[in-house]
Amino acid sequence: MAHQNPSDQELTQLLTDATTIAMVGASSNPDKASHGIMQKLQRAGYRVIPVNPRETEILGERSYPSLVDVPERIDIVDVFRRAEDTPAIADEAVTIGAKALWLQSGISSEDAAARATKGGLITVVDACIGAMHTLLRVPPKALG
C-alpha cells in the first residue's frame, strides 16, 4: 500500500508544535535548496540543526555527522538526500525519538516511510517543508 501523507490539519499541527528541526543533507552552499529552506525555517523561528558530515557550521549552527550525534531533542527530521539513503535515516530518526520524518520534494521511499511509520513517526514524503509552511500559513515562532 502506498504511503499517504498526513492531512493539512495534521501538518499544520506538526509545524506549529515543532521547535527543533534536524536537516539531513544541509549545505553551506547558498545555491543549494537545503540552504534556502534552512534559512527560511530559521526566519520562521525554528531551531534548525544541520546534519552533514562534510560541514562544520551552516548559517550559524554547528553541523553534526549524523542524527545520533545531535545532543538535543529533535521534533522533525527534514531530509535532503537521495531516496536510497532515506531508509537508514528513517531508522536513525526512530532511534533518536523524533516526532516526524519529512522527505523533501522529489524524495520518495516507501521503505523509509514504512520504517518511520512503524516506529511511530509522522511521515511526510515528497513535499517541501518550506512550501508547506507557507501554504498552510503556519504562524512564525516567537523568537526569544
Q: How do residues 53-74 score in pLDDT, each as one tens digit?
A: 999 999 999 999 999 999 999 9
Stretch 73-90: mean pLDDT: 98
pTM tops 0.85: yes
> CB under 8 Å to 28, separation ≥6 — which residues?
35, 55, 57, 58, 59
Q: How do residues 14-52 score in pLDDT, each as one tens digit?
A: 999 999 999 999 999 999 999 999 999 999 999 999 999
Q: How do residues 113-142 score in pLDDT, each as one tens digit?
A: 999 999 999 999 999 999 999 999 998 886
**Pairing state of beta strands 57-58 and 61-62?**
antiparallel
Q: Which amino acid is at 59?
A: L
